[in-house]
Amino acid sequence: MDRKKLQILILIVLLLFLVIYGIYQLTSVGTQPQKETKTQPKPLTSIDTSKNLQQQIATKNNSYEISNLIDPFYPQIVRKDKAKAQGLLENFDIEELKLTGILMDNKEYKALIKTPDGRYFVVKERDRIGFKKGQITKISKNEIEIVETIKSPTGETFQTKKILKLRTEEVP
């Protein structure tokens, strides 16, 4: 019986030591001085008049304009949800599509587009294509021209022109 009590006592002492050591480690982490690499600005020691203070404030560039900064939480790559796309060709990136044929119907060119999953679609000018809502602006004898309107992270919109060329060497 004495041996069992001694074991329990040793166990309690060890647990008490571990708890005290853990509390010490937690409190010592928050109180350690951190090394600073930046120098702190010097505080103003004396202010003569309110006009002098206004001049000091006016000469320093203390403005913060959010319009010049990029939102760090704005996703850099935005892909449309496939279920939300209007047409089936809006589910793919333009670089994934292949121009396989061009034909003329009623004095108007139409193009045959092959998707990566093997399906074919006939498109005409002003059709939407690609998940960035590109619009077909011109179809010629051997290529189609697509204009995409892209919104940058800063909120600016600009247009990019992409061309899909008909590759006759791939046709069997």
Q: Domain holding 116: CATH number?
A: 2.30.30.830
Number of domains in the chain: 1
Q: Is residue 63 part of a domain?
A: no
| CB contact at 8 A, 163 and 142 | no
Q: Residue 169 has what pLDDT?
A: 67
Q: Which two tokens stand for residue 12?
A: 């309690």
Nearest to 79 by CA among 63, 66, 96: 96
Q: Is residue 146 part of a domain?
A: yes
Q: Is residue 14 part of a domain?
A: no
117 burial via Cβ count (<10 Å: 0-12, 13-18, 19+): exposed
For the chain, the first-to-last Cα distance in angstroms comes to 94
Q: Is residue 25 part of a domain?
A: no
Write out the residue range of the structural domain in which residue 119 sits.
Answer: 88-170
Q: Is residue 20 part of a domain?
A: no
Q: For CA atoms 7, 13, 16, 18, give the dihedral sign.
A: negative
Q: Can you tell me whether residue 120 is helix, strand or coil?
A: strand
Q: Residue 85 has what pLDDT?
A: 41
Q: Is residue 27 part of a domain?
A: no
Please tell me the number of Cα atoms within 13 Å of 1 on its side-chain side: 0
Q: Is residue 68 part of a domain?
A: no
Predicted confidence pLDDT, tens digits, the chain (172 residues): 688 889 999 999 999 988 888 888 877 765 555 555 556 655 555 544 555 655 655 555 556 666 667 777 777 776 655 444 457 888 888 899 999 999 988 888 999 999 998 999 999 999 999 888 899 999 998 899 999 988 888 888 889 999 999 876 655 5
